[in-house]
Amino acid sequence: MERISPLRKRIDEIDEQILRSLKERVEVCVTIGAIKREHKIPVTDASRENELNKRLRERATSLGLSHSHIQAVYREIVTMCKYVQERNAKT
């Protein structure tokens, strides 16, 4: 059990990094959303999402990760970021 504790501590550190990265991503998306509003561009950009999915598939595979799991995670991240852009459009 004592071998697990430092590994769990490392997972906690990684989770903190993930959360900080998500916060940064949301902040960038808020700025992008403002630019989109300014230029009357829709929040959803299917071609950009397709590019992202293709890049994620390739990268996940090269890292030995399940691309379907990575895509599921990113689907939620993109949904969160679109929500933030839409929410800020209403304020």
Q: How many domains does the chain have?
A: 1
Give pLDDT, residue 69.
97
pLDDT for the residue numbered 91: 64
Q: Tokens 């959303």 correspond to what residue?
A: 33
Q: pLDDT value at position 88?
A: 86
Domain that residue 64 falls in: 4-89
For residue 1, what are its two tokens? 């059990």
**CB-based contacts of 58-61 (< 8 A; 24+ apart in sequence):** none
Mean pLDDT, 10 residues at a time, the chain of 91 residues: 93 98 97 95 95 96 97 97 89 64
Looking at residue 36, which CATH number applies to its domain? 1.20.59.10
Q: Looking at residue 60, what is its pLDDT?
A: 97
